[in-house]
């Protein structure tokens, strides 16, 4: 990980950070880390093994021995393609719950840091800049209003043919925000040296261009 260029993008759920981070990585030719997928995989694996999401030590053990393979757009858990399964609202909620457990975060730290390889990495999550990559050359806190994020998630779910309720999604996002900010380890917060990027009234291309412009000044 030493001397590997890293762009760390943090922010609340459905802020668009994942899409922005992935496109920035593609544009720069960097590797990409979706840390949210790691926690979603942990939640799904725990559920598959009958482990309660509130059982910290048991979930940490699941996290430590995750049998995961990333193959481009496909994500395999114990040999099964779970790319779609981990994107469900239920597993998203589970990911938020297990991510609040200190032992789970500790178990997944080294796994996330290992993604930092040349020519560089763009990582997105809740604590990329504060905990996982505190020495990142560029740190961005990407956010948007709760209403805008709920609307985006609603459209995303409807677009996938799923049943969605905007009011329920809004309440869930607000609950996740509160849980992420209140957790004892690595709470969701803007790092002191991170650029703030509010995408409430901003399109993806504009957000990507801004991050790339900030990187150009750093590189």
The string of DSSP codes covering 99-163 is HT-HHHHHHHHHHHHTT--TT-EEEEESSIIIII-TT-SEEEEEE--HHHHHHHHHHHHHHTT--
Query: What element of type H or E holds 180?
Result: helix 166-182
Q: How far apart are CA 102 and CA 180, in angstroms?
A: 12
Q: For the chain, give every domain's residue range.
A: 6-218
Q: What is the pLDDT of residues 43-81, one digit of tens each?
A: 999 999 999 999 999 999 999 999 888 877 788 999 999
Least confident of 18-27, 135-144, 180-189: 180-189
The CA distances from residue 189 to 95, 128, 135, in Å, are: 18, 11, 16
| Of 146, 149, 110, 131, nearest in space to 17 by CA | 149
Stretch among 9-13, 175-179, 189-193, 199-203 having the lowest mean pLDDT: 175-179
pTM here is 0.83
pLDDT at 42 over 90: yes
Residue tagged 């779609």 (tokens): 84
For the domain 6-218, what is the CATH superfamily, name and number? Answer: P-loop containing nucleotide triphosphate hydrolases (3.40.50.300)
């Amino acid at each position: 990980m030493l001397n590997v260029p890293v762009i760390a993008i943090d922010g609340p759920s459905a802020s668009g950070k994942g899409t922005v981070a992935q496109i920035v990585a593609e544009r720069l030719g960097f590797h990409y880390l979706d840390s949210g997928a790691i926690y979603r995989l942990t939640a799904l694996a725990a559920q598959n093994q009958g482990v309660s999401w509130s059982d910290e030590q048991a979930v940490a053990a699941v996290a430590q021995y995750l049998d995961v393979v990333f193959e481009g757009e496909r994500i395999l858990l114990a040999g099964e393609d779970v790319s779609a399964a981990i994107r469900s609202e239920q597993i998203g909620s589970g990911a938020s719950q297990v991510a609040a457990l200190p032992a789970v975060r500790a178990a997944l730290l080294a796994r996330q840091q290992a993604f930092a390889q040349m020519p560089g990495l763009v990582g997105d999550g809740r604590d990329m800049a504060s905990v996982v990559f505190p020495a990142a050359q560029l740190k961005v806190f990407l956010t948007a209003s709760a209403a805008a994020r709920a609307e985006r998630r609603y459209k995303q779910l409807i677009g996938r043919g799923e049943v969605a309720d905007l009011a329920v999604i809004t309440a869930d996002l607000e609950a996740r925000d509160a849980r992420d900010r209140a957790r004892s380890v690595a709470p969701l917060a803007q790092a002191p040296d991170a650029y703030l990027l509010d995408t409430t009234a901003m399109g993806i291309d504009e957000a990507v261009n801004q991050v790339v412009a900030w990187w150009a000044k750093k590189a």
